[in-house]
Amino acid sequence: MGEYTVEDQLAELAAKVAELEAAAGGAAVTNTMFAETFYYLTIPLMIIIHAGFLAYEMGASRLKNVLSSGVKNLLAFAFMIPTFYFFGWWVYWGFPTGLPGAPGPAGISGVEYASAIAWGWGESAQYMGPNIADQASGVFFGAFALFAATTASIMSGAVIERIQTVGFIILAVVLGSFAWVVAAAWGWHADGWLVTQWGVHDFGAAGLVHAVAGFFALGVLINLGPRIGKFNADGSANHIPGHNMPLTVTGLMLIIVGFWGFLMACVIVPGEAWSWFADKPSTIYGTPITLSALSFNILMAVAGGIIGAWLFTRDPFWMMSGALAGIISTASGLDIYFPALAFIIAFSAGVILKPCADWLENRGIDDAVGAVTVHGTIGLYGVVMLGIWGSGYPALQGAAGEVPTISLVGQIVGAVVFFLLGFVPGYVVSLILKMAGMLRIREGAELAGMDLVKVPAAGYPEWGGDAPVTPAHPAE
């Protein structure tokens, strides 16, 4: 038997090292494939949101406007994808620190950085198309593009039955590929100035998606005006029922299904070059989060919102709107709240939902589906609630004392900025469209029905007529 030499030991050790490296390499590949699949799956889940909005808004429309409402939704989705590809994605990476687009402290922002990775043409096209070595850019883009499309769909419901199609598309592009993206760059990015300077924390985008979209819609509604027959000469409001409440409620439930994908996409998985951690998931700010925490809190939020709305309305439309409000009111702090607190916040949102919508209607605003209240008012409510219940928690990943913390003042600052980023462009752009005659359809077309003059098809060819217009508040 030969002597077992040092050379033999070294050779054996080298073989074991090679084996370990091969195993580690295989694990790394597996993790990367998991990460890519994780975000890839969020995209079809978020498309369910748009299936929900489609059903929701068509059900909330009268028979004569069903298909025109659907066409508007389909076009909002379709136009959002290319516009977000060609400039919206670039805005997100280019302007977290504000103008003129200087790099931020984390080194993953600024115009130069954005032009290198997020420009749909030129040198960065390698990151914006087929590249077998890149398993992140496309799925990240897809998830963010669906966030953008969601903002357009939120605004869409508020303006049904009287807005011009081309004018609506222009508004949708401004909202989804610019206004919302600026809010995301400032408050949903590790280099965002609202985060680094004010400690703004909005994990599930209650403010920077929902509130921005809701108050953009409010700016549009002021210039668009109410539907014919909505208000009486004395200012009192009439209820204009949609043609299919079951379809509307089912659509709202589909939006809840899609919300799981929306919030899943807000999680940064571990173990990748772009991850915050090698061994645990995080929020987009680098603070800890788990899918387990989301499961507890989302379910409790949905239940709390439904129960709160049910106690005060008994109306299935407002109950399902309460489910949305429950998630939105807790979205900023889903990574921090315990389930009982999430339930309480969501319950309170369900309770105040209908009174807030009535208050807005009593000011002469015709929001056909309550989008301003559900997404705008409740979105800001959720941002501020985190300032109360989450004060003192780190807003960004880093050592204690070296990173900004969540505070009530900071969350209020964020809420004001999100309101302005929604309302101001919504009002200004819709006013310009109104002056150009591109905002509202003509009175005759509105009375006849938009389907008759805008859509070469009939939603229900064997049906006819509309539900009667009745007082919205009979007891008043």
User: Does any domain span residue 366?
Assistant: yes
Other C-beta atoms lying within 10 Å of the C-beta of residue 3: 5
SS (H, E, C) the chain: CCCCCHHHHHHHHHHHHHHHHHHHHHHHHHHHHHHHHHHHHHHHHHHHHHHHHHHHHHHHCCHHHHHHHHHHHHHHHHHHHHHHHHHHHHHHHHCCCCCCCCCCCCCCCCHHHHHHHCCCCHHHHHHCCCCCCCCCHHHHHHHHHHHHHHHHHHHHHHCCCCECHHHHHHHHHHHHHHHHHHHHHHHCCCCCHHHHHHCCCCCCCHHHHHHHHHHHHHHHHHHHCCCCCCECCCCCEEECCCCCHHHHHHHHHHHHHHHHHHHHCCCECCCCCCCCCCCCCECCCCCECCHHHHHHHHHHHHHHHHHHHHHHHCCHHHHHHHHHHHHHHHHCCCCCCCHHHHHHHHHHHHHHHHHHHHHHHCCCCCCCCCHHHHHHHHHHHHHHHHHHHCCCCECCCCCCCCCCECCHHHHHHHHHHHHHHHHHHHHHHHHHHHHCCCCECCHHHHHHCHHHHHCCCCCCCCCCCCCCCEECCCCC
Q: What is the pLDDT of residue 156?
A: 96
What's the pLDDT band for 194 if we cut at 50, 70, 90? very high
Q: What is the pLDDT of residue 321?
A: 96
pTM exceeding 0.85: yes
Range name among 82-91, 354-363, 403-412, 454-463 with the lowest pLDDT average: 454-463
Would the pLDDT of 25 be above 70?
A: no
Q: What is the pLDDT of residue 401?
A: 77
Q: What is the pLDDT of residue 134?
A: 83
Domain count, the chain: 1
User: Does any domain span residue 73?
Assistant: yes
The average pLDDT across 277-287 equals: 93
Q: Residue 244 CA to chain centroid, in angstroms?
A: 26
User: Does any domain span residue 17?
Assistant: no
Would the pLDDT of 171 be above 90?
A: yes
pLDDT digits (tens, 9 = 90+) for 214-268: 999 999 999 999 999 999 999 999 999 999 999 999 999 999 999 999 999 999 9
Would the pLDDT of 159 be above 90?
A: yes
Contact of 231 with 471, CB cutoff 8 Å: no
Paired tokens of 436: 């150009």
What's the pLDDT band for 398 if we cut at 50, 70, 90? confident
What's the pLDDT band for 288 if we cut at 50, 70, 90? very high
User: Does any domain span residue 152?
Assistant: yes
The average pLDDT across 75-87 equals: 95
Cross-strand partners of 440 = 163
CA distance 372 to 353: 11
User: Does any domain span residue 451?
Assistant: yes
pLDDT digits (tens, 9 = 90+) for 96-148: 999 889 999 888 999 999 998 898 776 666 778 888 788 888 999 999 999 99
User: Does any domain span residue 248?
Assistant: yes
Domain that holds residue 299: 35-461
CA distance 216 to 220: 6
The average pLDDT across 448-454 equals: 88
User: Does any domain span residue 27?
Assistant: no
Report how far apart, in Å, the C-alpha atoms of 97 and of each of 103, 110, 187, 309, 405 are.
7, 7, 10, 40, 18
Other C-beta atoms lying within 10 Å of the C-beta of residue 69: 29
CA distance 238 to 289: 46
The average pLDDT across 409-438 equals: 98
User: Does any domain span residue 12?
Assistant: no
CA distance 215 to 367: 11
CATH of the domain at 441: 1.10.3430.10
Q: Considering only CA atoms, which of 137, 157, 280 is closest in space to residue 213? A: 157
What's the pLDDT band for 271 if we cut at 50, 70, 90? confident
What's the pLDDT band for 476 if we cut at 50, 70, 90? very low
